[in-house]
Chains A and B, each alone.
Chain A
Amino acid sequence: MIKTARTSHKWLMRFTGLQFILWALTGLYMVCMDIHFIHGESLTRAEAQTLPLSDIRFSLAELLQVYPDASNIELVTLLNQPVYRFRSASGQRRIHLISARSGLPQSEITANQASTIATAAYTGNGELVSVNPLISRDARGQLRPLWVVTFSDAASSTLYIEQQSGRIIRHRHNYWYLFDWMWRLHIMDYDDGENVANPLLLILSVAGLFAALSGALLLILRLTAHSVRSTS
């Protein structure tokens, strides 16, 4: 019995052992690193400039006369001035920025403005290294031009700023990329880490479960052997 338990534990672990080590080490990294830190939430400051409502000289009613199909309307401070930010159905849901002081449309965020926005929000101690354009797609699959602003800190902190809205939509640093790889190794999906239900993980989990159960049996046999001996 004990020999069978030992032999199966040994052979199953020869097959799954490396993945056990990877599960343990990647899991350890993921539980040790605060998930909000990994998401880069600490890369930008939480406090923001307040927006005195009396500053609004171009009213919502006036805005609606020009953009009757405006939706998701919000009022924010962008580059030190209050702006209306909204989508318009007729403009293929593109995002508009209109000054709430003058009512003038604001052009898309330039590289210079993006570095101003990023530097103002950034909490780290690195210097701004580069501002590069990037075209990505949003959740609806629409093209979304971005500015990629990189800082010179040890984690290569990078902020992604949406050109249409001036919003910081993504925070990245090396810990995030490392976490992403830990996750892929943990769920054994090496291409994009999006599929937990992959057959490789299934095979290793089942084999791993048997490997662990044989180990548990071995442990029980050894511990009970002890107690039998000490009571006799």
Chain B
Amino acid sequence: MRLVIALWHKWLALIVGIQLLIWLGTGLYFNSLMDSAANITTRQAVQHEAYLPGIDLFPLNQLQAPAPIAAKVIWVLGNPYYALYYNQPSHNYFKQERLLFDARSGKSWQITPALVSRIASLAYSGDASAQQPRLLSPPIEDLPRQQNPLWQVNFNDDLHTSVYLDALTGHVVKYTNDNQRFDDLMFTLHFMDYTGTGSFNHWLIIAFATMTAILSLSGGYLLLKRSVITKSSKTGSHHTLQVSSTSSPEIMTLTTPPDTSIFNALARQAIHLPSECGGGGTCGKCILRCSPDAPVSEAERFHLSSDQLKAGYRLGCQQLAGDNKTISLL
């Protein structure tokens, strides 16, 4: 059981390992390095609203438009407009169905590039010049969740500030710059959003999160199991072990706490048994020869044949020093 879990633990770690380090690294970034409030310092509120009474308004009930769900009086640079809504998306970045009318003339209206330029400049407090507005259709690279077309106005500053404005009204929807783009990249990495969905509910991250859950639970299981095997003695009583070797005629005497594994007791004497797992009972490499009546662990039964067990072959990491009097290194 433990060996199967250890095997799973190893292979799952191989699959999710790099992403796990990315999660920890980006998580640490969100925790202590990210300061999203300070990302964009050239942001500036634009005053659109003006005083409505006194303006000769076109009657709403005479608009040439299909019946909407809702209507709003909105402002663009001091001028009133009627916005008619034909859907109610729960987020503004969802597809919006709207019509816009000049509230004075009742005529259909849409922002012009020249006005977009003006609003973008008013919305930007830096000194850099602005480029021409461009009307972008989704997908928009900086804003992966956005499903509506937006105007993009880029500023020639060091941080490559971009202001995104509503395609119909010219209201500022979003600012971004290289600081913000770096934070966005960290989120992309944390959410594994490598296909640019703008979301963390996708199959890739669900698959990795499932594997990581199994990885961490299997790790917890192994930690509990191994704590039992390798706990070190605090009693101070000592056990003497005779160590012989097939490659040399000398016999060494080793004094060690009885509940230390032979693997660890030998390692303390700078005798390193072959091992890939470092004494975890999973690789089966630290074979040595004990007395044939030495206890047999689950790991030994897995890695050694019954003939080997009968002949006294055991794993150094599975044998407690106290259970053995003489051992022989191969």
Contacts and interface: CB of A to CB of B under 8 A. Distances in A.
| Chain A partners chain B | yes
Contacts of A3: 267, 272, 278-279
Contact of B31 (A17, A33, A70, A196): A196
Contacts, number: 176
A208 B216 CA distance: 12
A18 B283 CA distance: 26
Contacts of B280: 6
A74 B73 contact: yes
Given A53-B60, A74-B72, A205 B219 contact: no
Contact of B210 (A20, A28, A36, A49): A28
Interface string B213-247: 10111011001001100000000000000000000
A218 B89 CA distance: 50
Interface string B55-92: 00101111101011111110000000000000111100
Contacts of A18: 220
Contacts of A48: 69-70, 88
A35 B279 contact: no
B122 interface: no
Contacts of A55: 61
B78 to A, nearest CB: 14
Nearest to B90: A41
Contacts of B220: 17-18, 21
Given A17-B220, A212-B24, A219 B30 contact: no
Interface stretch (A112-120, A123-131, A137-145, A222-230): A222-230
Interface in A61-104: 61, 64-65, 68, 70-77
A60 B57 contact: yes
A75 B73 CA distance: 9
Given A17-B219, A75-B60, A222-B10, A27 B209 contact: yes
A36 B201 CA distance: 10
A213 interface: yes
A48 B62 CA distance: 22
Nearest to B217: A21
Given A17-B223, A209-B24, A24 B201 contact: no
A219 B205 CA distance: 22
Nearest to A11: B223
A134 interface: no
Contact of B17 (A5, A208, A216): A216
Contact of B216 (A21, A34, A61): A21
Given A24-B212, A212-B21, A216-B17, A75 B70 contact: yes
Instruction: Tell me whether chain A's interface is mostly helix, strand or loop, or mixed.
Output: helix
A232 interface: no
B293 interface: no
A71 B74 CA distance: 9
B61 A54 contact: yes
A30 interface: yes
Given A5-B278, A24-B209, A24-B213, A50 B267 contact: no
Contacts of B278: 2-3, 5-7, 218, 221
A56 interface: yes
B128 interface: no
B28 interface: yes
B330 interface: no
Contacts of A154: none
B199 interface: yes
Contacts of A30: 200
21 contacts: A2-B276, A3-B267, A3-B272, A13-B219, A14-B227, A30-B200, A50-B68, A53-B60, A54-B61, A56-B61, A61-B57, A61-B59, A76-B69, A198-B31, A202-B31, A205-B24, A212-B17, A212-B21, A221-B276, A222-B276, A226-B276
Interface of A: 2-3, 5-7, 10, 13-14, 17-18, 20-21, 23-25, 27-28, 30-36, 39, 41, 46, 48-57, 59-61, 64-65, 68, 70-77, 196-198, 201-202, 205-206, 208-209, 212-213, 215-216, 218-219, 221-223, 225-226
Interface of B: 10, 13-14, 17, 20-21, 23-25, 27-28, 30-32, 49, 52-53, 57, 59-63, 65, 67-73, 87-90, 199-202, 205-206, 209-210, 212-213, 215-217, 219-220, 223, 226-227, 267, 272, 275-280, 283
